[in-house]
Amino acid sequence: MSEAKREPLFHISKRTDISWQKALLIRVIAIALALGASAIICLLLTDDDPLAIYSTIIKGTFGTPRKTWVTFRDVAMLLCISLAVTPAFKMRFWNIGGEGQTLMGCLASASCMILLRDVLPNWALILVMLLTSMLAGAIWGGIPALFKAKWNTNETLFTLMMNYIAIQLTSFFVAKWEYPFGSNTVGIINPTGKQGWLPNMFSEGYNGDFGWNVLIVLVVTVLLMFLYLYYTKHGYEISVVGESQRTARYVGIKVEWVIIRTMLISGALCGLAGFLLTAGSDHTLTTTLVDGRGFTAVM
């Protein structure tokens, strides 16, 4: 006789009935334990004062008004790309292509800034940049979604490989437009007239170019993504497809269309992040402009 199957000694499952106060307390304790563990490792391996190290990190992040705004800008960009891949992950579509989708948004914005700066007034140029960036990101996200919906391809590999195609496309156009020659970077675009730059929200100082990035991402986070995922029919369909495609089909949800639609939205939001990088902060184009945020956003 075969040995009876034994139950595991420990069973870990997610608690759904936990209060927000307790959930917050757990996260605070987790952060404190992580800082404590890191301090012990630093002390053992480097013999440096962990408090001095943490103090340096804080000063480097919030030491001056400019550093603080740069931190807010970088957090906002990372949050924007994280929000972009959230609907796909909630649907259990493993979108690893946020880097390339964002870079395509950067490329679309830079193309408009370079080619249309003498054709359109600034407000129209910014609007065209926004729309084309979101369209470029949506197309880059929609291609693997279409293949997944029609032929059940592996979305993890497909979206990952699309990153490299986006990098090579950007590299081609950078080589075409680069200034100064040989730098592998399109320099500050339109430095004189600042055509295609988002206007200063506050003043001409350190915070002028970053305010719009932070504000737009906050609006997308609170008013759009949260409401979309939790209070719309589309959000409900995403949840059902993520739980079980068979169940979704049983209740009449068109799974293939939900996959494509969700990835179009995901890619469009990545394109929005690319627009903010190009029009709102960096005003340049390079293959490393996204700087790995598309991969960090997955975490």
**pLDDT one-digit tens code per residue, 19-62:** 889 989 999 999 999 999 999 999 999 888 999 999 999 999 99
Identify each DSSP E strand in the chain by its residue range.
none
Identify each DSSP E strand in 136-260 by its residue range.
none
Contacts of 221 (CB under 8 A, 6+ apart): 79, 83
**pLDDT one-digit tens code per residue, 212-258:** 888 889 888 877 888 999 999 999 999 999 999 999 999 999 999 99
pLDDT in the model for residue 136? 98
Q: Are 273 and 81 in contact (CB under 8 A)?
A: yes
Whether the bond into 65 is cis, omega within 30 of 0: no
Q: Coil, strand or helix: which one is 285? A: strand
How far is 273 from 297, CA to CA, in rounded Å? 12
Q: Which residues pair with 179 in a beta bridge?
A: 186
pLDDT in the model for residue 166? 98
Neighbours of 74 (CB within 10 A): 16
Global pTM exceeds 0.85: yes
Q: Please, which contacts does 160-165 make with residues 24 or more away whose CB atoms are closer than 8 Å?
A: 160/96, 160/97, 162/97, 162/100, 162/101, 163/96, 163/97, 163/99, 163/100, 163/103, 163/294, 164/100, 165/100
**pLDDT one-digit tens code per residue, 178-194:** 755 556 677 777 777 78
